Structure 1
Amino acid sequence: MTTRVLLNLVHPIFEKSWANQVMLEAIKDLDYVRVNDLYEEYPDYFVDIKREQKLLLEHSLIIFQHPFYWYSSPSLLKEWQDLVLAEGFAYGEGGYQLAGRYWMNAITAGAAKDSYTPHGFNNFSTTELLRPFEQTADFCGMNFVEPFVMYEAETLSHSAVEKEAQRYRDYVDSLVQSFDLLKDADNTEEG
Structure 2
Amino acid sequence: MIWKGLVNFMKPLIILAHPDINNSNVNNRWKQELEKYSDEIITHELYKEYPDWNINVRKEQYLLEHSNCIILQFPIYWYSCPPLLKKWLDDVFTHGWAYGSKGNKLKGKKIGLAISIGDKEKNYMHTGHVGFSIDEIITPFKATVNHIGATMLPIFSIFNASFQISPEVIEQSASKYIEHISTVSL
Match among 2, 6, 11 for residue 18 of structure 2: 11
Query: 1:67 maps to what in 2?
Result: 75
CA distance, structure 2, for counterparts of residue 85 and residue 54 of structure 1:
12
TM superposition shift of 1:166: 1.1
Moved more, 28-37 or 142-151: 28-37
Gaps in structure 2 of 5+ consecutive residues? 1-6
Counterpart AA for 2:42: R
Q: Would you say the 8 A contact 1:4–1:58 is kept in 2?
A: no
Three-state SS of the structure 1 residue aligned to 2:78 is helix
Moved over 4 A (4+): none
CA distance, structure 2, for counterparts of residue 113 and residue 169 of structure 1:
22
Moved more, 138-147 or 25-34: 25-34
Query: 1:161 maps to what in 2?
Result: 170
1:39 maps onto 2:47 in alignment: yes
RMSD: 1.3
Q: Would you say the 8 A contact 2:34–2:43 is kept in 1?
A: no
Query: 2:127 maps to what in 1?
Result: 119
CA distance, structure 1, for counterparts of residue 79 and residue 35 of structure 2:
26
Q: TM-score normalized by structure 1?
A: 0.89
Q: TM-score normalized by structure 2?
A: 0.91
Q: Would you say the 8 A contact 1:106–1:147 is kept in 2?
A: yes
Task: Report how many residues are paired.
Answer: 177
> How many percent of aligned residue pairs carry the same amino acid?
32
Moved more, 24-33 or 107-116: 24-33
